[in-house]
Amino acid sequence: MNTFITWSDDLSVGIEEIDEQHKILIGLINRMHDAIHERHGSDVVESILSELIDYTRIHFAVEESLMRILNFPGYEEHHDQHEELTQQILDLQQKLTSGKKAISFELMHFLKTWLSRHIMEEDMQYSGFFLASGARPVLAQRSWARRLWSSIAG
């Protein structure tokens, strides 16, 4: 099976923990693509989509927490983009679970385009700010990620 989205250094934001989270998102999209391509059925694909939505919310919360901690000036706009993207995915999920829309490669194209565009355009903005702001020593410590994960996971 061909990989639907392949991780490359072009997608790296230069922050290890965020890159690792982006790789997980890519992995979930690839799993969904494989499940559709192999005709595993809507229950399997919907389950992967739910997992993708849950993980995306956590990932966005981590990004936004860092933005607030490091006083990123584009926080509000980035937060609004996260809200819009989350709503688009939730709308697709609702259509899929209600049977109004078949799970298709159109959905996969949307997810691929959304993820790669968001990382390469929007996330690169905060990445440059974080790294230029002297936050590199903080970002290099894995402890910040563990603290954020535990506070989000509750």
DSSP alpha helices (H): ranges in the chain?
16-37, 42-69, 75-97, 105-117, 124-132, 136-140, 142-153
Given this model, what pLDDT does residue 30 score?
Answer: 92
For the chain, give the number of residues: 154
Q: On the CB side of 55, how many CA atoms lie within 13 Å of its CA? A: 17
pTM of the model: 0.82
Q: What is the largest CA-CA distance in the chain?
A: 50
Q: How far apart are CA 61 and CA 46, in angstroms?
A: 23
What pLDDT was estimated at residue 135? 67
pLDDT of res. 103: 61
CA distance 48 to 142: 27
**Residue ranges of the chain with per-residue pLDDT less than 70:** 1-2, 100-103, 105, 135-154
pLDDT at site 151 = 62
Q: What is the pLDDT of residue 73?
A: 94
CATH topology of domain 11-153: Four Helix Bundle (Hemerythrin (Met), subunit A) (1.20.120)
Residue 105 to residues 5, 28, 57, Cα–Cα distance (Å):
13, 15, 23
- Which tokens hold the place of 143? 């402890």
